[in-house]
Structure 1
Amino acid sequence: MMRFLAWMFSIASIGAIFGLGAMAALVWHYGRDLPDYDALKSYQPATISRVYDRDGAIMAEYLTERRVFAPIDEVPDLVKNAFIAAEDRNFYEHAGFDALGIVGAVVDYARGGRLRGASTITQQVMKNFLLTNERSFERKFKEIILATRLEQVLTKDQILELYLNEIYLGARAYGVAAAADNYFGKALENLTPAEAAYLAALPKAPSNLHPVRDHDIAVARRGYVLDQMLRAGFLTQAEFEEADAAPLATVLDGSVEPELPPVPPRDYFSEEIRRQLVGQFGEEAVEGGGLTIRATLDPELQRAAGDALRARLVKWDKERQGWRGPLTRIEPAALTGDDGAPSEDAWREALAATRAPGDIPGWRPAVVLKVGDTTARIGIQGVPEDADGHYIGVGDAGWAKPELERGGVGRAPRKPADIFAVGDVIMVAGETEDGSEIRDVPGDALVDAGLARWSLRQIPELQGAFMAMDPVTGRVLAMQGGFSFETSVFNRATQAKRQPGSAFKPFVYAAALDNGYTPSTVILDAPISIDTGAAELWRPTNSSNRFYGPSPMRVGIEQSRNVMTVRLAQDVGMDLVAEYAERFGVYSDMPHHLSYALGAGETTLYQMVGAYAMFANGGWRVSPTLVDRVQDRWGETIFRQDDRLCPDCRQDWRSGELEPVLQPNSQLIMDPVTAFQLTSMMRGVVERGTATRLQSLGLPLAGKTGTTNEAKDAWFIGFTPNMVAGCFIGYDNPRPMGRGAFGGTLCAPVFEDFMEIAMKDRPKLDFPFPPHAVMAKIDRSTGRRLSDDASGAGVALEAFRLGEAPAVGEYSGGAVIEGRFDMFAGGDLPMRLEQDEPSSGPASGPASGGAPADGGGGGGQAPAPPSPSGGFGSGGLY
């Protein structure tokens, strides 16, 4: 017996040795080329980056995978226990793999059951991160080796954190935090046991456990997880019974109202933030880095900007453009049921399949179902059908005159068939009895909101942009880059390079005021011919085709006189004008052509508003910014726009002490007296010049209009001490906008509507008077100094630097003597000027022979204006 036992022990020992050797050989063989699991120590999964507006509300998300990273200490025990019970009950006991689980899986398979992997959570982490989904012994063995190694370098909680944040749970959700939001509209800490169990059921087959499509299977799998939680002691019997009986209600079937606010769709502001941050940090960091981005956007002002711009574009389109037809068409057969009558299920499905913008407040897509003698029956997206259906009459679409091929519009429609056909997809808006649009009201609450009729709408061809910012901090408060982001993502505030026309003139005047000129300096407004080296002389004119003789500089900017601006630019030198334009950020490398003095170059609204902000703040450098701060996924600040130092900010503050003072780091790029003089002159644009409609605002307001040659671009940029805003309007492919299209008629109304809302709760500040300046009364027409007791409409109160104010009865830097114009400061201004720089081609400004109407050129493509007929430009006044 002893010899037999010894023999058996020897056999067992030899077998064990050979077994261990074989196992070691297998580990060596399969473990040679395994991935480096050390990378998991510092692994950071791709996580949603979120943008928050000024009020702390989410305004956008950037992502490649919908994942919100949840640190393990922020994951509730209920959620952790649900996944452990469903996937790996012995997670905290095993060393990476569960030997008993593997044996059990083999036994079940031998008995004819389904082959299951018996993978632990650690093994699943290794498979998800480093291996493939191949079902083979080799992959399973590698998985076990890697899992064992991983358990030696990471804690159990670290492994569980990787698992819960990486795993795919269906509905485009990666990780438990994103899944809780997608399915239940909740944060993790608010999940019920039934909801946590459903999430834990998903890893096995997320595509086959959809809560709506696979409802019964999903409920059964949820019941299994709840049972495992009960067996593991994670739930009491009462909790189990309550959770098992609960309905599977989710956001996806509409039976649950999300607790978390929905993320707004992308818009011009959030997309521009993304574009700028990608340029700074890279696409991977922005769309997968889990950044927290604090934007400068003021939601109320953003709504006001969008409403103001859209209202003006729609008004112009209705009055000038005519009806261009439906958005698209649906085959009439797709709208009806078996009986041939319109079927609500059919038309709703067909309408939902069309592409129509959903980001225009108050507007809804609709489809024409029937055309009658006086009305057309329509089906409206998101609006329940009532007993009689919904109708639109000719009176609610009377503006829809047909657009003619030769231009212009035809006669007004007389019957619905003149406008509509069955299957037309159109845009409509609900109106009250007084004609007001109904906005921000669900479709089933329109009647309670006072719905009286449906009115036809049309997306305008004319486009534009609007932007507002704080002139002191540079924070962009609102930016609307077009009529509708869903219709066109092109941001006309930052991406459209257009000619600013007379909106550029203040930079010419700024260069002059900083170099010896004053607001009362007299400049000759008379015909001039400029030899540019081209075949024809350039003869710029004013918009009125009239010349007004010697006039003070103030009148030149108030009335937007082209000839005065050209003379001024020639006298101070285009090299100096270009230097100022570049200093203010209007251009990066401006050619020294005289046409650029009239705004013939191309720039963006973003750059122009930023440049005007430096007039408003007294000459301090400021740049527009869309972002205040960026934090990484751990809360560390990686970018802060305000980089001023505050040495006393870390000290304890006591009541009665002064608040800490930030050290200024801005650069003064302009004499404050010049900024005040220029602001005063541009206040005259509002009070007496090309933007007088803005006087109704009752604000200390300065600004400048701009309209380019043939009215292809219209501008207005205005400012108060605490707000600067600008508007641009024009076709994307520049072409004339028609009679009456000026900066003062198109853009000034947009500015007016916006400022009525923007300034209602802001202080009405006046522009501060700069030090080292004095005030003197000047004759507005002649520029001559008047006595201090002079009064009347012809008196202008002008600012001068100390020692520069003329004596009573004298002129500032010049005089009109016996009909001959003399400029003491700038020399004689002859009737013919020679351009120092010759033409360099078709985009060379004046060398092309034209003069921009209102200082600009044709807009968009060629910086120089076209050659005018008869050798005269159309000039510019507005």
Structure 2
Amino acid sequence: MKSIGERWFVLAGIGLLGAIALAGLLLAIYAAWLFHDLPDAGELAEYRPATATRVYAGDGTLIGEFSQERRIYVTYDQIPAPVVQAFLAAEDSNFFQHGGIDVGGVSRAMFKNVLNAVQGRRLEGGSTITQQVAKNVLLTNESTIGRKLREAILASRLEATLSKEQILELYLNEIFLGYRSYGVASAAFNYFGKSLDQLTVDEAAFLAALPKGPNNYHPIRRPEAPLDRRNWVLGAMRSNRFITEEAYEAARARPLTTQDAPRRAQYRDADFFVEEARRRALGMFGEDINAGGYYMRTTLDPSLQSAARDALMQGLEDYDRRHGWRGAWGNVDIAEGWQDEASEQSAPPERREWRAAVVESVGDGVRIRTAQDDQTGTLLSADVAWARAGAGLEVGDLIFVEPAEGGQFALKQVPAVNGALVAMEPQSGRVLAMVGGYSYALSSFNRATQAERQPGSAFKPIVYAAALEGDFTPSSIVLDAPISFPGGAGGRPWTPENYSRQYYGPQTLRRGLELSRNVMTVRLAQAVGMDEVVQLAEDMGAGDDMEPNLSLSLGAGETTPYRLTAAYAAFANGGRRVEPYLIELVQDRNGRTIYRADDRACRTCGRGFDGGASPRLTPRGEQVIDAITAYQISSMLEGVIQRGTGVRARGLGPWVAGKTGTTNEYRSAWFVGYTTDIVVGVFIGFDDNRSLGSGEAGAATAVPVFINFMTEALKERPARPFVRPRNAIFRTVNGIEEAFRPGTERRVEPTPEPQTWEGPQAYTDVLRREAEAQRQAQQQQQASPQPAEPAPAPQREPAEDLSGLY
């Protein structure tokens, strides 16, 4: 019989074995739970993290990027050795020796963590680069034993699946380094404005200092901490013999100089253009555009874009100055800390020379002190007079100033008015420049593409083109005399007027368009038929679903500067409607072209040169008006600049055409002008559509912007004569060479003597009188046929009505 001690010994053994079995079972269950959804390390062989879509101008200039995470993916062989060595020294110096887990490193971390726990410091993980890749790419950031075990298992699998170089490539492209930067290439650009191969050793060491905590080493907010950490990394590089003692001392002595903030691109004049390209890309590719790593080449010409931005901003500032100083944007007590209040409002980023300042004294002159660099000086006397003529200046006023000559400062004011400028190639539709407002930082609303406004007289060339497509010629006569139309349903009659309230009798179409005669345009639209005018306007792309009302002939419909400028392209390119576009080419991350704007087929473009003729592509766009009509309008609009409402731009030289436009009560000012190689639309107006003020017509407000832009554009794209259609017949009429469609040149008549008409007349009476005059003219023509090319009759030059609405 067994003793009690033996019995208890057997029971204890059974219990121990059961506990071991239970622990084994629990461990197996836990292991199964760890492994059941463990990611496949083999997937990383084809892994590519989300990267930014980079946007380039037509000449290769980087102008922006679209991204959820700012990352530029680079392969291992594209990463310079100093960058790799800096990260190895800082994060895992035994990377090329261990198998994914550095046992020695873990032991040292455990020993240090005993002291860290006692001192209340953050515990160290001792993770290798391989473990960090496993955590960053495949796992979460939770701080649990289970996650650490999964991380170790995955690290071993990674080492068995990928080469050391592949693991390093993933690590250096995936890691977050602050400044909105994912990966070393993006960080180099955002911190230093450089590519990886341009980094110095000390700059590479700074980047390697960031993985432990980018916010702790922010170079602007905490300038000392990142410098100390960078120097520690340099010391680790020296200890690992990655750099020599001399290189270490030289790198340590250099200051840490970074950019103030991350930038999408060094070129910063195209914010409106880039945002519009992003909107259109979203429509084509969806949300993938923000993470797909696409290469996008746009149509932008950087030199023209900068000229467009400068011209529009200057034009808006000039308008704003004409309408007076509105007053300071703030007022402070000049005491310690006033700079903090002044810094709450910053100058437009596009005006990089402007400074916030405070008015220190007001006497014979005005003395100011800048907030940013604590400079003192006086305002220009002309600016003092301008301010005193307006809201005035007081001590403590916060203002914007710009350094001027002689230690003085110019007083600056952010305009309340806004506008847009669009420039495109008329032959292809490529948008070369686009500015949608005074400052993108102040308002991202793109007035070039989103502002639906009445174009005023800038619409008139479409009316004249519709007439020329019919029975009219540039020398056809239309009566410039008062006319009245009955109002519908008992409403008041509509009596269109020339702004000058003067009328000049029978005039040629050319003269009517050059001087922007309202009444002549209405009569012409009535004769042609508004249905024809509307159809042509829509065919040219100026608008959709327009109402065929006579008031539309004077620009009462709505369109955008983008669409109206594109419509004018047909006048410059021989009558073809071209669709404007911003995106030229898109390639995926592997270099495969997935979109090309020019989809015309060319079977012989890829052949080698054999001495024969070069391939010829069909012109882009649909023919919407006759080439002769396009030339006639271009010739007449050239006359607008040489003799008409756009005469202010005559200094640009010949072969420049254009048309002014102003709406009722001076609410909007327009000018659309072009040469054979570029068409430019300018719009200026308040966002709330209030009046610009008396006299602020297109000729006074928009034309100067066009002149400033075209002065630069013509240096790059000199004006050339408009292409003469082959089948056109040319005759000299009133001293000007006119183009005619074959057969219509016989209808040339001398311009009648101008007459003065006063007061509105009933529409039926005018029709009766015009019909009688036409019948008498036909009888005279039958009695004595006119020669093919009559000598122009002597005429008295009519008074110019150039001071009103056009």
Does 1:588 pair with 2:544?
yes
**Partners in 2 of 1:664 and 1:19 — Cα distance?**
80
2:606 to 647, 650, 668: 650
- Code of the aligned partner of 1:636: R
Provide, for residues 502-521 of structure 1, a one-character-per-residue CA deviation record: whole Å limited to 9, x for no partner. Answer: 11111122222222322223
Contact 2:541/2:577 (CA < 8 Å) preserved in 1? no
Provide, for residues 827-850 of structure 1, a one-character-per-residue CA deviation record: whole Å limited to 9, x for no partner. Answer: xxxxxxxxxxxxxxxxxxxxxxxx
2:384 to 397, 402, 410: 397
**Partners in 2 of 1:199 and 1:461 — Cα distance?**
43
- Secondary structure at the residue paired with 1:420? coil
Deviation at 1:499, TM superposition (A): 0.2
Contact 1:586/1:603 (CA < 8 Å) preserved in 2? yes
- Code of the aligned partner of 1:715: W
1:202 to 210, 221, 226: 210
User: Cα distance 1:193–1:757, how it changes in 2: closer, same or farther (>3 A)?
Assistant: closer
Find the counterpart in structure 2 of residue 235 from structure 1: 242
After alignment, is 392-401 or 135-144 more displaced?
Answer: 392-401
Deviation at 1:676, TM superposition (A): 1.0
Deviation at 1:770, TM superposition (A): 0.2
Deviation at 1:184, TM superposition (A): 4.1
Deviation at 1:210, TM superposition (A): 4.1
Deviation at 1:355, TM superposition (A): 2.8
2:354 to 333, 358, 363: 363
**Partners in 2 of 1:824 and 1:121 — Cα distance?**
98
Find the counterpart in structure 2 of residue 324 from structure 1: 326
**Partners in 1 of 2:710 and 2:221 — Cα distance?**
50
Find the counterpart in structure 1 of residue 745 from structure 2: 805
- Code of the aligned partner of 1:426: I
Provide, for residues 317-345 of structure 1, a one-character-per-residue CA deviation record: whole Å limited to 9, x for no partner. Answer: 333x222111223x31xx434xxxxxxxx
Deviation at 1:109, TM superposition (A): 5.4
More helix by share: 2
- What is the aligned length? 747
User: Cα distance 1:501–1:808, how it changes in 2: closer, same or farther (>3 A)?
Assistant: closer
- Code of the aligned partner of 1:235: F
Provide, for residues 561-591 of structure 1, a one-character-per-residue CA deviation record: whole Å limited to 9, x for no partner. Answer: 2233223323332222221111111112212
- Code of the aligned partner of 1:250: L
Deviation at 1:41, TM superposition (A): 4.9
Find the counterpart in structure 1 of residue 568 from structure 2: 612
**Partners in 2 of 1:763 and 1:52 — Cα distance?**
25
Contact 2:481/2:504 (CA < 8 Å) preserved in 1? yes
**Partners in 2 of 1:130 and 1:664 — Cα distance?**
52
- Secondary structure at the residue paired with 1:285? helix
1:748 to 698, 703, 725: 703
- Secondary structure at the residue paired with 1:294? strand
Superposed, 1:677-696 pairs within 5 Å as: 677-696=632-651
**Partners in 1 of 2:220 and 2:750 — Cα distance?**
87
Superposed, 1:698-777 pairs within 5 Å as: 698-777=653-732
**Partners in 2 of 1:209 and 1:712 — Cα distance?**
53
User: Cα distance 1:306–1:134, how it changes in 2: closer, same or farther (>3 A)?
Assistant: closer
User: Cα distance 1:356–1:547, how it changes in 2: closer, same or farther (>3 A)?
Assistant: same
User: Cα distance 1:191–1:16, how it changes in 2: closer, same or farther (>3 A)?
Assistant: farther
Find the counterpart in structure 1 of residue 402 from structure 2: 429
- Secondary structure at the residue paired with 1:377? strand
Deviation at 1:636, TM superposition (A): 3.3
- Code of the aligned partner of 1:465: A
Contact 2:669/2:685 (CA < 8 Å) preserved in 1? yes
Deviation at 1:501, TM superposition (A): 0.9
User: Cα distance 1:165–1:718, how it changes in 2: closer, same or farther (>3 A)?
Assistant: same
**Partners in 1 of 2:220 and 2:689 — Cα distance?**
50
What is the TM-score normalised by the length of structure 2?
0.83
Find the counterpart in structure 2 of residue 75 from structure 1: 79
Does 1:134 pair with 2:152?
no
User: Cα distance 1:140–1:510, how it changes in 2: closer, same or farther (>3 A)?
Assistant: same
For structure 1, the 5+ residue unaligned runs are 1-13, 338-345, 404-417, 433-450, 779-793, 827-874
Provide, for residues 265-320 of structure 1, a one-character-per-residue CA deviation record: whole Å limited to 9, x for no partner. Answer: 763333322333233333x434433333333333333333333333333333333x
Find the counterpart in structure 1 of residue 60 from structure 2: 56
**Partners in 2 of 1:460 and 1:218 — Cα distance?**
41
Does 1:280 pair with 2:284?
yes
2:51 to 47, 51, 54: 47
Superposed, 1:448-463 pairs within 5 Å as: 451=406, 453-463=408-418
Contact 2:362/2:395 (CA < 8 Å) preserved in 1? no
- Code of the aligned partner of 1:117: G
Does 1:375 pair with 2:383?
no
- Code of the aligned partner of 1:324: R
Contact 2:52/2:291 (CA < 8 Å) preserved in 1? yes
**Partners in 2 of 1:392 and 1:810 — Cα distance?**
60
**Partners in 2 of 1:63 and 1:380 — Cα distance?**
37
1:247 to 245, 248, 253: 253
Deviation at 1:692, TM superposition (A): 2.0
- Secondary structure at the residue paired with 1:399? helix
2:178 to 150, 157, 170: 170
User: Cα distance 1:465–1:223, how it changes in 2: closer, same or farther (>3 A)?
Assistant: closer
After alignment, is 618-627 or 208-217 more displaced?
Answer: 208-217
Contact 2:663/2:805 (CA < 8 Å) preserved in 1? no
1:300 to 278, 299, 303: 303
- Secondary structure at the residue paired with 1:732? coil
Provide, for residues 619-654 of structure 1, a one-character-per-residue CA deviation record: whole Å limited to 9, x for no partner. Answer: 122222333333333333333333334434433447
Provide, for residues 398-434 of structure 1, a one-character-per-residue CA deviation record: whole Å limited to 9, x for no partner. Answer: 122555xxxxxxxxxxxxxx722233221223334xx
Does 1:65 pair with 2:17?
no
Deviation at 1:717, TM superposition (A): 1.0
Contact 2:304/2:432 (CA < 8 Å) preserved in 1? yes
Alignment root-mean-square deviation, CA: 3.8
What is the TM-score normalised by the length of structure 1?
0.76
- Code of the aligned partner of 1:805: E
1:633 to 565, 589, 613: 589
1:315 to 309, 318, 321: 318
- Code of the aligned partner of 1:820: E
**Partners in 1 of 2:477 and 2:132 — Cα distance?**
83
Percentage of matched positions with identical amino acids = 46
- Code of the aligned partner of 1:376: V
Provide, for residues 475-506 of structure 1, a one-character-per-residue CA deviation record: whole Å limited to 9, x for no partner. Answer: 22232322333333222222211100111111
User: Cα distance 1:645–1:377, how it changes in 2: closer, same or farther (>3 A)?
Assistant: same
Find the counterpart in structure 2 of residue 869 from structure 1: none
**Partners in 1 of 2:517 and 2:565 — Cα distance?**
22
Contact 2:66/2:289 (CA < 8 Å) preserved in 1? yes
After alignment, is 587-596 or 642-651 more displaced?
Answer: 642-651
- Secondary structure at the residue paired with 2:599? coil
- Code of the aligned partner of 2:281: L
Contact 1:816/1:822 (CA < 8 Å) preserved in 2? no
User: Cα distance 1:396–1:512, how it changes in 2: closer, same or farther (>3 A)?
Assistant: closer
User: Cα distance 1:302–1:236, how it changes in 2: closer, same or farther (>3 A)?
Assistant: closer
Provide, for residues 813-861 of structure 1, a one-character-per-residue CA deviation record: whole Å limited to 9, x for no partner. Answer: xx999982438999xxxxxxxxxxxxxxxxxxxxxxxxxxxxxxxxxxx
Deviation at 1:472, TM superposition (A): 1.6
- Secondary structure at the residue paired with 2:209? helix
**Partners in 2 of 1:574 and 1:740 — Cα distance?**
30
Contact 2:682/2:702 (CA < 8 Å) preserved in 1? yes
**Partners in 1 of 2:148 and 2:217 — Cα distance?**
25
**Partners in 2 of 1:818 and 1:106 — Cα distance?**
104
Superposed, 1:470-481 pairs within 5 Å as: 470-481=425-436
- Code of the aligned partner of 1:358: P
Deviation at 1:189, TM superposition (A): 2.4
- Code of the aligned partner of 1:300: S
User: Cα distance 1:131–1:258, how it changes in 2: closer, same or farther (>3 A)?
Assistant: closer
- Code of the aligned partner of 1:373: G
